[in-house]
Amino acid sequence: MRFSCHRRFLTGVAGISLSLGWLGLPNNVLSAELQPHRAIYDMRLSSAESGSKISDVTGRMVYELSGSACAGFTVDLRFVVMTTDGDGAESVTDIRTTYYEAPDNGKLTFAYQTFIDDYLAEEARGTATNQPTKVDVDLVGPDVKQLSFDGSIMFPLQHLHSMIDAAASGQHFMATKLYDGSATGDTLYDSSVVIGRQLPDPLAQRSDHALMPKGLARADAWPVSIAYFDLNNKVRGERSPDYQLRAVLHENGVSRSMHLNYGLFQLDGALVELDLKPIVPMSACNTSASLEEEVSVPLGDVIAVEPIR
């Protein structure tokens, strides 16, 4: 069974949409301070409609954020899910992602691969450059081509930064366009975000199994709900989102207590392991070095299929 909709799960975890222009902030003025970390999530089927032909889903995601505010951040993600249909047939989808986002939000370098039962189903490698009124994309593999998307568009970590800034300032709704290079690199998304009230206890509303570091208890948190719309789908009238994400988002960029709604089925995601890394202050950054390099498929040996059975 094809499970390619999960290729966009990175968007829900690492990039939450919001317009900086709507906030009145220039693109490079972001007060949120992301904390490098490595998080592991276990995914389980919450519910499925009869038309989905899905009887079970299990999975694991490893998300790693590294870098600094002055040199830029790199995200490595591996997401493996096993689906079981009504006849008991199993299929494994393996999504491998890495991208680097420049500190001024001006450039995104990315590499994506989606395997279905060890078959390479989708792949994209390239660089996106954010201009004031458009995003230019140079895809270098597997096909070489140039794309351009008009409008005010954000990259994933730029979204995450601005989402946290909006939550901290008491805003509750926002919408924008998002480009993350996922799937085959030719998709632009619309999204709408609803931000709940700040949680009095940052570790409240828990559905996670991880022993939370003390630092996370000191990081403010908000419940958020995000709907994503594929702009390649030219549907007339009222659109339904391609998928929706609910989560608790902390001010340091850590997400937990996830719930994903794909229409025909829904998944719950529990944070089972979290390793918070030190934040590199701007004064300690090595300005002579750059994190930007040719990105490749990450975390090749982190997830085995056996643990998700």
Burial class (CB in 10 A: 0-12, 13-18, 19+), 87: exposed
Contact present, 271 and 210 (Cβ < 8 Å): yes
d(CA 206, CA 192): 24
Percent of the chain with pLDDT over 90: 55
Of 11 and 22, more confident: 11
pLDDT value of residue 286: 59
Task: Identify whether 142 is preceded by a cis peptide bond (ω within 30 of 0).
Answer: yes
Beta-sheet strands, E only, within 131-166? 134-141, 145-150, 153-154
* Cα→Cα distances 194→167, 200, 273, Å: 10, 18, 27
Q: What is the pLDDT of residues 14-68, one digit of tens each?
A: 333 233 223 333 344 456 789 999 999 999 999 999 888 899 999 999 999 999 9
Q: What is the pLDDT of residues 169-205, one digit of tens each?
A: 999 998 989 999 988 899 999 989 999 999 998 887 6
Cα 141–155–164 angle (5° rounding)?
A: 150
Domain boundaries, the chain: 4-304
